[in-house]
Structure 1
């Protein structure tokens, strides 16, 4: 007989295995105009993705604390798709730049 996992253990596994890294949210066409926004829930956390007045797409974590301002999170647009990263560590979505292939003098 197996015992169901404890809720704390489940949340810890979700945080370590699934939250880190970049996650697809939606296509950029979902928020075509300035001021448009999209609300999604990623791993139990509400996230608002908005097209700002300067046409940039930004994402914010909605805090549940009283008087808490939305916390900005990393957001990237690649190939017409919106990706967000809930983790605070640095996970790069783009490929690292290659070093120039200049020969070294001896």
Structure 2
């Protein structure tokens, strides 16, 4: 059951929760800690924190739609539906690991 819920896009918070470059927000999604941050280019990115010793943060797909931040923890390639008209704001997808 948890795998089914985990495989989609999940609402994290409003984009105003990380308004400036360098701001970050830590949330727990299905028991996994996820950090959402805004980088110098004003793109919002998300990273899954590894619990292993010396584990590097793993990029997670992240998107902003209608002023809301969504993340997808699944490794398969799910896409968020594109709006008909371009929206003000940025959308960034973190690179997938091989």
1:21-60 correspondence to structure 2 within 5 Å:
21-60=8-47
- Structure with more of its chain in helix, by fraction: 1
Deviation beyond 2 Å, 4+ runs, structure 1: none
CA RMSD, Structure 1 to Structure 2 (Å): 1.5
Higher RCO (C-alpha under 8 Å, 6+ residues apart): 2
Relative to the length of structure 2, the TM-score reads 0.81
Relative to the length of structure 1, the TM-score reads 0.75
Aligned position for 2:2: 14
> Counterparts of 2:7 and 2:64 in 1: how far apart (Å)?
18
What 5-or-longer segments of structure 1 have no aligned partner? 1-12, 98-106
Pair member with larger Rg: 1
